Structure formats: structure tokens, C-alpha cells
Amino acid sequence: MGKNDSTRLHFHRRELLIGAAYLTLGLSKAHATVIVDHLPWAPNAGNPPTSALPGPWMFFTGDEGRAIEALADCIIPPDPQTPGGKDSGSAVFIDRQLAGPYGRQYGLYVRPPFMKGTRSQGHQSEKGPAEEYREGLAALDRTCRAKFGGKAFAELSDPDKDTVLKGLESGELSPDGADGKAFLAMVIKDVQMGFFADPIYGGNRDMVAWKMIGYPGSRYNYLDWVSRHNERFPLPPVSMTGRAEWTPQTR
């Protein structure tokens, strides 16, 4: 039988009375491999997401971070009711995503040869999001410096920033000859994704985006609301890490 034979029990600590479960000690998942007689089980099972911790950039350089924060605030400008992309953490979100498996194209098919396909054949580049951001942000700043007297994107005035974005969007501006439209579309997608994702990933700090739209978050039971039509749902949003009300408010 293979290495992962869980049909023998290991008694590493003889004083422990083991319940009717197939286990080897120290596992945090419901370990299987051979399933026979009963459903697999382990205590503390599960694989919750890892929290994006605050702190310095894990992927971006200082310049890239500034550029991304500026982009985030253009895409989602701050207003009196709701913070913008920067303060709500979209740049942090993107940074943590790029530093992780997403940035590395983890799990994707990355075997060569890489050939240019038709539009309907999807992403065929060897470059993953990490490289695309690196190159795209560098090209953006180079283009801005050339057009705006040596200023990087983050240093431009707000109207000038918007002009640059509109130029990318229309195709008029193509930094270093690369596809500015595709780059902008990617940044918009990721900034907005960070804005609406669970705060555990670094964006949507304090659920500001969910409060903005009236989304109640990671709730699970709406049985008492299905048939209440056209009424405002009154409960505040909750994220995977809970909400403030979960902790007893003692004076």
C-alpha cells in the first residue's frame, strides 16, 4: 500500500483515548486517501484563508506602490461617504495577491510553446500578473515622465491622471508600444476586486465598500427575509473575520 496508509492507527501518546476515527496525529485536515467504513474526520479540520497582514509592500517597490495607490484613487475616488481605492486598501490587496499564488500563475498551464492565438483562445502569454504589473507600471511611469516633464504618474495633478487613464482606455496612449488598454482593464478589474472582496484580503477595509452598496457580507441564513419583498435589510455587514459586535462591549 502507498505511503499515506491511514488504515493503521499510530499511538504516539499512550495516554490518549482515541475516538472511533481513522487518524494519525498532528493532522489539521480530514485526511483520506483510502476511504472505507466511515466518513473521514479530523478535529480542527478546514482550511481558512490567510489574512493579508498590514505592513510594507510584499511585492511592489516603493515607486510601484505609489503608482498603484494613485491608480486606485483614480479608479475609485474618495468621497465624503466612502473612502477611495487607496484608503480602503485596494493597493494592498493587489500587492498581496501579486506576492502570492495568483501573481505566479500558480496552478495554470504554463508549458511552452507560447504562441499568439486568436482573441477567442484566451491568455497565451508566458507572463503572469506579476510580470504584467511590473512592466505595465514601469511603462506607465516612463510615459508620464516623457509627456509631463519628468513627473511619474503619482506626481501628476488629478485632471492629468484622468487624462492619462482616458488615453489608455481609448488606445491613444500606448506606453512603450504595449497594450495600454489591456493594462488599464487589468488594473481596473483588480482595484475594484480588492474593493469588493472580503476585508481579510487587504482591501475593503472595515467593509466600507459593502456598507456603500448595502451588501450584508458573509451571512448564511436569510430564511426570515426571502419573502419580505422590497424592504431594506437592516443588519450591518459581517466579514469572515466577524464584525465589531462579535466582541462583548465592556466598559
Q: Does 219 bind another protein (CB under 8 A)?
A: yes
Within 106-145, the residues that bind another protein by CB under 8 A are: 107-111, 113, 115, 117-124
Q: Does 56 bind another protein (CB under 8 A)?
A: no
- How many Å apart are CA 51 and CA 199, to the nearest integer? 9
Nearer to another protein, 13 or 177 (CB): 13
Residue 145: strand, helix, or coil? helix
Nearest to 71 by CA among 172, 196, 165, 173: 165
Q: Does 46 bind another protein (CB under 8 A)?
A: yes
Minimum CB separation of residue 242 from another protein in Å reads: 7
Torsion, CA 126, CA 132, CA 138, CA 144, rounded to 10: 120
CB 188, CB 76: distance < 8 Å: no
DSSP secondary structure code for residue 17 in this structure: P
Nearer to another protein, 37 or 150 (CB): 37
- How many Å apart are CA 165 and CA 167, to the nearest integer? 5
Q: What are the CA-CA distances from residue 9 to residues 18, 32, 68 (Å)?
A: 9, 13, 53
Q: Quick one: which segment of 53-61, 130-138, 143-151, 190-198 binds another protein (CB under 8 A)?
A: 190-198
Minimum CB separation of residue 135 from another protein in Å reads: 19
Within 144-173, the residues that bind another protein by CB under 8 A are: 162, 165, 169
C-alpha cell at 200: 481579510
Q: Does 215 bind another protein (CB under 8 A)?
A: yes
Q: Quick one: which segment of 13-21, 131-139, 143-151, 173-181 binds another protein (CB under 8 A)?
A: 13-21
Q: Does 174 bind another protein (CB under 8 A)?
A: no
Residue 240: strand, helix, or coil? coil
Nearer to another protein, 62 or 248 (CB): 248
